[in-house]
Structure 1
Amino acid sequence: MESGVDLNLLRTLVIVCESKNLKLAAVRLGVTESAVSKQLSRLSEQLNEVLFERTPNGLEPTAYTRLLLPDIQSALKSIQTALNKKTFDPRQFQGTLTIALPLITLDKFGKQLFQTLKQALPQSKIILSTWNSTTLSSIINGEIIMGVHFWNSDIPGEIHLRNITDDEFVVAIAKSHAASDFNEVKTWPFIMLRSSGWNDHHSPYYEKFVNLGTTFNFEYQLDSPQLAYQFMSKEKVAMLMTLKNMPDDLKRIPTPDASRLQVKLSSYTTLANRSNPLNLFLHKKLVEVFSSKSKGPASHR
């Protein structure tokens, strides 16, 4: 086929072959009968071939047209399939999906998130990993399809953020302790739970207390939330965390209004994939999981 052929005319050719009638073809194409005739004439000129013969039974494709027809129909079908790829069928998706979350969030929501995603994407392989210092670069290079962390404007331009749910930092202690007054709890030892990925070099929530003239004694510095919960259940120890991540056997201690810090839990993906149907589907599932009233671990004692 010559390179000067108007490919838009090939659909007209196929429909006329199927209809064998200019009037019927015109109805299917949503144009006039005259327009269909002119389109066929242009295509015939471009190909330098006779495409149809008029017979008592209607328009009959020539041997040349019959020879081309199967390949043209196949090509048009492939184009339509490509254009329809915006339609995403999660139950048919096959592939590995890695999602990174802070360890404390993974502990609280990991099981529920895994079950939700596996049910929605039964043929996929779901990997839930811990957010670390290389997570952003892994998202950018495609090793991790999506991350979950608090909204952070200080990120590379290749990353796109989308809000999942609102959250708030709190001072938490074990419910097994009778204390409920902040003036008492602020004198307790505190746990510094180290978490990579959001304001790594400072704690905006703690800085609010410092600005109000209150400092905490961070006697414990831990990486493991489960170990932190064990200390909290047995000793008078407090920790800074968010409401969403707080297990059922911990409780919030009311603090001065000026110390409150609200944050947005967000999904992290590449800017190029922000409108990808798979990414949009995953974000929707994240919203479902993190907006639900998950009970989390029953006990850490």
Structure 2
Amino acid sequence: MSIREKDFRGVDLNLLVTLAVLLRERSVSRAAACLHLGQPAVSGALARLRELFDDELLVRVPQGMAPTARALALQAELTPLLEQLQTLLFAAPAFEPASATRSFSLGMSDWVEIWLAPKLLPRLRALAPKLRVALETTDPFTGSAMLEQGRMELGVSVFAPGPAWQQTRPLRSMGFAVVYDPKQLPLSAPLSLDDYLAHE
């Protein structure tokens, strides 16, 4: 099938979305709320749709608004078309690790790299042999900016809070160890925070 471009001149595809919502809600005010538009804007869109299709589309009845036969026929055809278009425009493409060939930038602190990379990289090679991973050095102070600037796509470290769009999730809890010589510091285990702070 060839597309006749001139048939689409003057047709705003947003009108079709408005029509789909109007036919679903069967109310201008409810449709306006769903579309985050003012009621006058949706009423204006309905007037344009009536002109476009040369049909009333929705008529007033005691219970609210009822679709015409033309509107019901349009709804049956339009809903699956809009769903297809939405998937085409906004659905994330499927990611297949076994065949993926793209590159990822993974930010890690040096100590995280020592702990995680020896386990992670062989597993990645087995599951996604064509994937390329570049390890970038990051830390709590630079991680957020590196994500913002696109210098890494994922970071594994301790990070200071960043903008709201940056998402974090705990991976593992790790503590610190204090090493001391009992000949120089006569302390008994377990070491308390007061013991620790009492010494230089």
Taking structure 2 as the reference length, the TM-score comes to 0.49
Q: If each structure's strand is expressed as a fraction of its own residues, which one has the higher value?
A: 1
RCO higher in structure (CA 8 A, sep ≥6): 1
Taking structure 1 as the reference length, the TM-score comes to 0.34
